[in-house]
Homo-oligomer: A and B are copies of this chain.
Amino acid sequence: MIDAIARHRSIRNYLDKPIEPEILNEILAAGTRASTIGNMQLYSLVVSTSKEMRNALAPCHFNQPMVTQAPVVITCCADIHRFSLWCRQRNAEPRYDNFAWFVSAAIDTLMAAENVALEAEAHGLGICVLGTTIYTADKIVETLGLPIGVIPITTLVIGYPADQPPLTDRLPLEAVVHHETYHDYDTQSIDKIWAEREASDETQELLKVNDLPNLARIFTEKRYTANDNLLFSRKYFEVLKKQGFFNQ
């Protein structure tokens, strides 16, 4: 397996050490080699390295320390703005301000982002993907000065790792792979898929700390609650409309 893929783990503690500019360039260039729909490259990578900008972004990521600790924060944005500007400048009429192109641009963005992550790891750097990006997209738009036609999808923090945590477990491969068509899960298969994780010492410790009877309830009652989910859903969809991805 490609070494960077096999060794990937999320890094949450970083050394106070900048990334060499030529290495950062190589990492960003790797992003642009990913597949892109119609070779339109419908994304922008906003690379924030100054202390000031990382401090400004930190609250958008619930002040997780890694945002200011890691030397590089890359906000990966779907971008139909640049392409549309070009079209207009050529007397062509762009109509990419709609949902299909939000999804297409998000596909471009995320394939590029994964390349960036892997190339960084191939240089001995660590990365973490910040799922908080969509919760506070309105603040990020403001902080980074994103124009209409640009919306943040995900964020990568990158830097030299201060620790090397063990690989995170995954569900067995057969849990996520279906042959030919989708094969639905029965009660037994659901039990089997999660058996190892539910039995792990880490889970047992979590149940004790959270005083809850099982891991699923830690997800629904502590980590990603109904209230938060609905709030963030509505907020992000508003940002999507405001940024011009739903004119249909």
Task: List the interface of chain A (C-beta within 8 A of B).
Answer: 1-2, 4-6, 8, 10, 25-26, 28-35, 37-41, 43-50, 53, 77, 79, 82-83, 85-87, 89-96, 98-101, 103-104, 106-107, 110-111, 113-115, 117-119, 122, 127-129, 131, 134-135, 143-147, 150, 153-154, 168-171, 173, 175-182, 184-185, 187, 190-191, 193-194, 213-217, 219-221, 223-226, 229-230, 232-234, 236-237, 248
Other-chain residue from B6, B107, B131, B190 in contact with A38 (beta carbon distance below 8 A)? B131
Chain B: minimal CB distance from A8 (Å): 5
Chain B: minimal CB distance from A6 (Å): 6
Q: Is the CB of A214 within 8 A of B92?
A: yes
Q: Is the CB of B44 within 8 A of A182?
A: yes
Copies of the polypeptide in the assembly: 2
Q: Is the CB of A43 within 8 A of B176?
A: yes
Q: Is the CB of B1 within 8 A of A2?
A: no
**In the assembled complex, which residues on chain B have CB atoms less than 8 Å from the CB atom of A182?**
44, 46, 77, 144-147, 150
Q: Is the CB of A220 within 8 A of B115?
A: no
In the complex, A236 Cα to B6 Cα: how many Å? 34
